[in-house]
A and B are shown apart, each in its own frame.
Chain A
């Protein structure tokens, strides 16, 4: 038995789930892209430091969009599987549980990338995109990979609460942290308190790391914070799985 074959089956099942019932993911994509379209059409052509606001918004709104997909879907999925006994069926099969969970996360990644592509296309259409392609590709890679720890946090919550509660809890995490991190509106125009809090939030560091791909700004500190967050989220997910409600 090869792990890659099992992973292929698990991933195919997850992708079928998204394609056949796309409603949940549809809203995770439509909302951030819709917000982005609104703000970029209003403010996209303003410029700061040589980069248009529309391009910078791909980093900030893009972080929100990617986190939205990766934070919501694996957690709600695993909570639903647990409620219907499907997770237990997987646990007693010969499939390593890590493979099942990895498939859930990986299945969401194409949609996360799709959000970024849709935002980039919107910025281009509105004439507010002024970054070179390599910088945009780096931004895409950074956001997609940087969002993975959020998937671990999502799983940690999905192991403990039902699907309905998971959606509520995950939204309660996503929306405030996005606002406080300046993902919707720049921290520069927000009260100073927001900036003080933002430094402690991984959402802020992900968007700043993405922004650094456009501006060439420092990235190491953001990478270290995100690695630390990944470690904490991994421990939380492992402990939560160990004590998962059946």
Chain B
């Protein structure tokens, strides 16, 4: 598989803070790699290096073999930011046509992409007046019209409803089928589990683990205890063996490597415990476990 992004030994520090400490990362053509990690893990710094906003202080970052700080290399890149405020005065069609011309494509390239992203009816509308989902579709159109070899998506579906999110990933799957690589950063870990071929977990500037979502989950013999309980989150977090904790509607999801012991304590502390079940841990629990192990 052709490599569209190659990061080797990338380092970056802000004063005494080491944001990246020798990161290696590859994204192949047609591959989707999710970059996961807690706040401060170094994801933003790495993404900024990949999109050419920051130089690697040591190591190398190459997009299609070129330095992303050079304009000719950046033409291979499409970027979707978490939230982008469009100028109040520009219309949807003007923005997509502008993106095509800036990428060295003919103005006519805008039409098919706008159709692909259901933007034709919005063509004459000012971009600043669009809904959140429409704005993300517009950003994706502006990225795709350049026909990039690598798409960098920073929390691209945050705040989108489920149908819009589904459509977003469908379109990306089509582009991946045509050879575009995707680097995705997201806090929606279960979503990345569904769409990414590989997951790379970053913490404190280092790669903690990498592999397919299934490989990462299998690496930790964790289970998720799901229950409805009267115990508060603080108390639950303090229970022995709890690796991760997440509220899920009326239920809580407790990641643990010792489900039997945890169940005994839970039942003793909350006799009213209900809807109890134990599942194999998902990617979210696996990532939390990996980060906890890395910190230990």
Interface residues of A (CB under 8 A from B): 1, 5-6, 8-9, 12-13, 16-17, 20-21, 81, 83-86, 88-89, 91-96
B69 to A: closest C-beta gap in Å: 10
Does B102 make an interface contact (CB < 8 A)? yes
Partner of B85, one of A5, A13, A83: A83
Question: Within 8 Å CB of A6, what residues of B?
Answer: 101-102
Instruction: Indicate if the CB atoms of B74 and A85 lie closer than 8 Å.
Output: no
Question: Closest A-chain residue to B68, C-beta based?
Answer: A92
Report the bound CA distance from A81 to B86 in whole Å.
Answer: 8
Instruction: Indicate if the CB atoms of A86 and B89 lie closer than 8 Å.
Output: no
Contacts A84-B87, A89-B79, A94-B74 known; 17 new A-B pairs at CB < 8 A = A1-B75, A1-B103, A1-B104, A6-B101, A9-B102, A16-B94, A17-B89, A17-B90, A21-B88, A84-B85, A86-B84, A86-B87, A91-B53, A92-B52, A92-B79, A93-B102, A94-B71
A11 to B: closest C-beta gap in Å: 11
Report the bound CA distance from A17 to B90 in whole Å.
Answer: 7
Question: Within 8 Å CB of B77, what residues of A?
Answer: 92
A25 to B: closest C-beta gap in Å: 12
Does B81 make an interface contact (CB < 8 A)? yes
Partner of A96, one of B71, B86, B87, B97: B71
Question: Closest A-chain residue to B88, C-beta based?
Answer: A21
Instruction: Indicate if the CB atoms of B83 and A92 lie closer than 8 Å.
Output: no
Instruction: Indicate if the CB atoms of B84 and A93 lie closer than 8 Å.
Output: no
Partner of A85, one of B72, B84, B103: B84
In this complex, how many residues of chain B approach chain A with their Cβ under 8 Å: the count is 27
Partner of A94, one of B84, B87, B104: B104
- A-B contacts counted at CB < 8 A amount to 69
* 10 CB < 8 A contacts A-B: A6-B102, A16-B90, A20-B89, A81-B87, A83-B85, A85-B84, A86-B86, A88-B81, A93-B74, A93-B102
A78 to B: closest C-beta gap in Å: 12
Does B153 make an interface contact (CB < 8 A)? no
Those 6 A-B pairs whose CB atoms lie nearest each other, nearest first: A84-B85, A1-B104, A17-B89, A94-B75, A20-B89, A92-B51
Report the bound CA distance from A95 to B104 in whole Å.
Answer: 10
Instruction: Indicate if the CB atoms of A95 and B102 lie closer than 8 Å.
Output: yes
Question: Closest A-chain residue to B126, C-beta based?
Answer: A20
B135 to A: closest C-beta gap in Å: 11
Report the bound CA distance from A158 to B232 in whole Å.
Answer: 48
A22 to B: closest C-beta gap in Å: 10
Instruction: Indicate if the CB atoms of B85 and A85 lie closer than 8 Å.
Output: yes
Report the bound CA distance from A94 to B71 in whole Å.
Answer: 5
Instruction: Indicate if the CB atoms of A85 and B83 lie closer than 8 Å.
Output: yes
Does B98 make an interface contact (CB < 8 A)? yes
Instruction: Indicate if the CB atoms of A92 and B74 lie closer than 8 Å.
Output: yes
Does B99 make an interface contact (CB < 8 A)? yes
Report the bound CA distance from A85 to B81 in whole Å.
Answer: 9
